[in-house]
Chains A and B, each alone.
Chain A
Amino acid sequence: MYSDLELDALREIGNIGAGNAATALSMMLSKKITIKVPQVKIISFNDVSELLGGPEKLVVGIFLRISGDIDGNILIVISEEDAYALAKTLLNNNRDINRDFSEMEESALAELGNIIGSSYVTALSELTKLYLKISVPSIAFDMAGAIVSFPLSLYGYLGDTAFLIETEFVEGLAGIKLHYLMIPDDKSLKQLLKAIGVSTFESDNSRRNGGI
C-alpha cells in the first residue's frame, strides 16, 4: 500500500520529531536520553497491545490529539514500574512504590507527555510547513489494551490494520522506557506525505508503466 520511499520519509519524520522531543525531555529531567530508531508499523489491532506488553499489562498512557492541517493522535505508554520511577525523578521525592499516583504525580507525568508531544509536533510542523496544534495532555492508568483502543478504533473504518510511527525514549541510568506512538488519522497520512513531497498519486500512471 505504501512505497519504500513513502515509508522512509515517514520514518525520517519520526526521527526528526523524536530527536527534538528527546532534547526537550533530557532538559526536563537533566538526564541523558537515547532514542531508538523510529519504525513505521502496519500491524493488526491485536498486535499493537502485544507490542506494549499484552492487553492486560498495567501502563500509564498519556494522550494528545493533533489537529490543524492534519489530524492524529500521540500516545505515550510507560510501564507501571517505569512510571513510578519517573514520577520519583520528576518530583524528586522518596515515594512508596506501592502507593497509587498522587494528583501531583499525575500532572507531572502529563506535563512530561506535553513536553515530548509538543516538541515532536513542533519539529514536524517546521519540517512540513503544516499548521499543527496539539491538545492538552490527558492521562490514564489502566490496561494497555484499553489504553490503545481509542486511537486504534478509528482505523477500523479503513481496514484491519493500524498505522503507527513508533519510537522509544530510554533514560540513561535507570533505563526508564517511554514508548511513543504517533498515530495519524487515516486521511491525514496522504496529506503528510504530500507535504513532504513524496506522495505517489494513483493518477500518476507513468510509474506503474515501467517508469521509475
Chain B
Amino acid sequence: MSLIIRVGMAEYKAARSPATLVTLGLGSCVGVVLYDRVKKIGGLAHVMLPDSRLSSQKDFNPGKFADTAIDALLQDMLKLGANRKSDIISKIAGGAQMFKMKAESSVMQIGKRNVEAVKAKLNELDIKIVAEDVEGNYGRTIEFFCETGELTIKTIGHGVRIL
C-alpha cells in the first residue's frame, strides 16, 4: 500500500518512500520536486508566485513563493532524514500561460516568471534540475513517486510524460 499525499495550491509536503506526492491541475503555478535518491525522501512544493519580497503581509505562508517554498521544503526533508550532501536533485513542471493575451505584459506571464524564479532559487542552493516540463499553454496534473523517483505528468490533449 502506498500513501498518496495531495499538495494543494501554496502548500509543500515532504515524505518518505513509498509515498506518492500529487498536485492536481497545475496552471501558471510550478510544481517543484526535491528528491534524495539515496534515502528515497521526496518533497513537492506548489509555488504560486516568484518573489516573497513583494508580499504585503509580513507573516505570510512560505509555500506561496518560489524563494521561500523551496527553502521550507528542503528543511522539512532534512528533518525527515534527507542528506543535504547526498546529492539532492530536482524536477520541475508547470508554469503555463493558460490564456493568450494580445498585450503580453509581465503580469500576464506569471507562469514564465515562476519558472525563472524557481530555477534561480535552485541554482542558488546548488540543487541540480535533472528534468523539467515547463511553460506551454496547458494544465498539468503531476505525481511524484518517492520509491522510484519518477515524476508523471498528465495533461488534457498533450499526452502523458514521465520524467
> Residues of A with Cβ closer than 8 Å to B?
45-46, 49, 54-56, 58, 61, 63, 65, 100, 135-136, 138-150, 152-154, 156-160, 186
Q: Are A150 and B27 in contact (CB under 8 A)?
A: yes
Task: Determine if B49 and A153 form an interchain contact, defined as CB atoms under 8 angstroms apart.
Answer: yes
A157 touches B54 (CB 8 A): yes
Q: Mark B40-83, 1 if CB is under 8 A from A, else 0.
A: 00000000110000111100110011000000000000000000
| Chain B residues in the interface with A (C-beta under 8 A) | 8-10, 24-29, 48-49, 54-57, 60-61, 64-65, 96-103, 107-108, 110-111, 137-141, 156-157
Contact B9 A142 (CB under 8 A): no
Q: How far is the CB of B60 from chain A (nearest CB, A)?
A: 8
Q: CA separation between A138 and B100, bound complex, in Å?
A: 6
* Contact among A150, A157, A186 with B99 in the assembled complex (CB-CB below 8 Å): A150
Residues of A contacting B64 with CB < 8 Å? 156, 160
Set A63, A143, A153, A158: member contacting B25, Cβ < 8 A: A143
Contact check: which of B24, B56, B65 meets A143 at CB < 8 Å? B24
From known contacts A140-B137, A141-B156, A157-B56, infer whether A149 and B99 are also in contact, taking CB-CB under 8 Å: no
Contact, CB under 8 Å: B28 / A142:
no
Cβ distance B49 to chain A, nearest Cβ, rounded Å: 5
Q: Which residues of B contact A46 (CB under 8 A)?
A: 8-9
Q: How far is the CA of A49 from the CA of B107 in the complex (A)?
A: 21
Instruction: Kindly list chain A residues whose C-beta atoms are within 8 Å of the C-beta of B141.
Output: 55-56, 143
